[in-house]
């Protein structure tokens, strides 16, 4: 897997599982976005379907060259399907008309489509692989309708659930999956991978630092330095909000809430950047052994997760964003600068 950055031990575990006599038919990859979960899922699909499975040692698998390996890599394999928010596999009940425009969740009609699909033989794959991402965006009724398939999928079927919020999955779903944790990748590994791609050293260091263990994000930032600048500006703005009084915080929260109506995906991205902001604090505080600061940053991260849940659950947007900024610890700008200096 040329594109995967880090995750050596996890990849070995996936190989062990995929090459075992009875590979698990439901896997949950639990970890933050942009850490490599999709590539790991694709790799598992290749391992299950590689034509060299019987011929080569595990260290040389997946081969990356056979037809299934290539098609999966190019995302063109007819039996390897990504099920996400949208209308993939939508299977409406007759007479019920609905559309998936502006959908924020994976719906029961899509799960119905999945169940219908796996009841038939794959077109050409040894094992059909369906990735559900983000799995937590299935509402409880959609999750419930998936249970039977998760427990006893038809032969030739593997399901891979990707999530960054396992707490939003039903226990009955979690208990039916082989759960693997996808951790952030060490900064030095991400930086080295960027350098190996020919990224200039100063950009590689900055992108790896900002991406906080998410190689996918680091590559994106390194390839578009303007993104890196936008992000640096946004993080500066966040530092002001975190250092500001109630008035500043509410003003920020209200603008964010207004934007939720017209641009929910922009707001989600901004919340993800808030995650990175406090994750960086958490990392620096943990490295410095400052427990209070680490706890404060961890609470801020929880507040962001709650805000995201509230927005998804259609709580009044303003209430959700105000609650979040109120829960952020007060932080001074001077603190932020010193931390950055220490970190640099």
- Angle of the 215-223 helix axis to the 225-243 helix axis, nearest 10: 110
Tokens of 209: 């630092």
User: In the bound complex, what is the minimum distance in angstroms from residue 140's beta carbon to Zn ion?
Assistant: 17
CA distance 36 to 188: 16
Smallest distance from the beta carbon of 256 to Zn ion, in angstroms?
Answer: 30
Q: What are phi and psi of 157, to 5 degrees?
A: -135, 135
Q: Which is nearer to Zn ion, 158 or 297 (CB)?
A: 158
Query: Nearer to Zn ion by C-beta: 66 or 298?
Result: 66
Q: How far is the CB of 108 from Zn ion (least distance, A)?
A: 8
Phi, psi angles (nearest 5°) of residue 334: -60, -40
Rounded to an integer, what distance in angstroms lies between the CA atom of residue 82 and that of residue 339?
40
CA distances, 329 to each of 234, 278, 294 (Å): 18, 10, 11
Please report, as ranges, the residues that interact with Zn ion according to CB under 5 A.
50, 52, 62-63, 66, 69, 90, 109
Based on CB atoms, which residue is closest to Zn ion, 64 or 264? 64
By C-beta, is 63 or 170 nearer to Zn ion? 63
User: Residue 87 CB, nearest distance to Zn ion (Å)?
Assistant: 6
Which CB atom, from 139 or from 237, has the smaller least distance to Zn ion? Answer: 139
DSSP symbols for 292-324: HHHHHHHHHHHHHHHHHHHHHTT--HHHHHHHH
CB nearer to Zn ion: pick between 64 and 209: 64
The nearest distance, CB 70 to Zn ion, in angstroms, is 8
CA dihedral 283, 285, 291, 297 (to 10 degrees): -70
CB of 339 to Zn ion, least distance (A): 46
């Amino acid at each position: 897997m040329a594109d995967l950055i880090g995750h050596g031990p996890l990849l070995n575990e996936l190989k062990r599982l995929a090459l075992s006599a009875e590979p698990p038919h439901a896997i949950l990859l639990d970890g933050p976005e942009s850490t490599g979960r999709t590539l790991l899922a694709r790799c598992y699909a290749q391992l299950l379907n590689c034509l060299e499975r019987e011929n080569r040692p595990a260290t040389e698998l997946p081969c990356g060259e056979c037809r299934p390996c290539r098609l999966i890599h190019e995302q063109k394999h007819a039996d390897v399907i990504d099920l996400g928010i949208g209308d993939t596999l939508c299977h409406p009940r007759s007479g019920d008309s609905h559309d998936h425009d502006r959908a924020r969740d994976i719906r029961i009609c899509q799960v119905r489509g999945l169940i219908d699909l796996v009841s038939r033989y794959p077109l050409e794959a040894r094992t059909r692989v369906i990735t559900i991402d983000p799995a937590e965006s299935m509402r409880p009724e959609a999750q419930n309708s998936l249970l039977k398939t998760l427990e006893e999928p038809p032969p030739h079927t593997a399901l891979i659930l990707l999530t960054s919020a396992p707490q939003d999955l039903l226990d009955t779903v979690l208990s039916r999956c082989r759960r693997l944790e996808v951790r952030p990748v060490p900064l030095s590994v991400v930086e080295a991978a960027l350098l190996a791609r020919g990224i200039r050293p100063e950009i590689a260091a900055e992108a790896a630092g900002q991406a906080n263990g998410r190689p996918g994000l680091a590559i994106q930032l390194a390839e578009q330095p303007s993104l890196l600048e936008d992000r640096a500006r946004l993080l500066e703005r966040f530092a002001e909000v975190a250092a500001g009084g109630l008035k500043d915080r509410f003003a920020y929260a209200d603008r964010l809430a207004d934007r939720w109506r017209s641009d929910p995906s922009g707001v989600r991205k901004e919340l993800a950047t808030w995650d990175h902001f406090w994750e960086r604090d958490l990392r620096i505080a943990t490295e410095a052994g400052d427990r209070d600061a680490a706890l404060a940053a961890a609470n801020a991260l929880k507040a962001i997760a709650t805000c995201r849940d509230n927005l998804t659950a259609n709580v009044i947007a303003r209430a959700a964003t105000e609650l979040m900024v109120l829960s952020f610890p007060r932080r001074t700008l001077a603190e932020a600068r010193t931390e950055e200096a220490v970190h640099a």
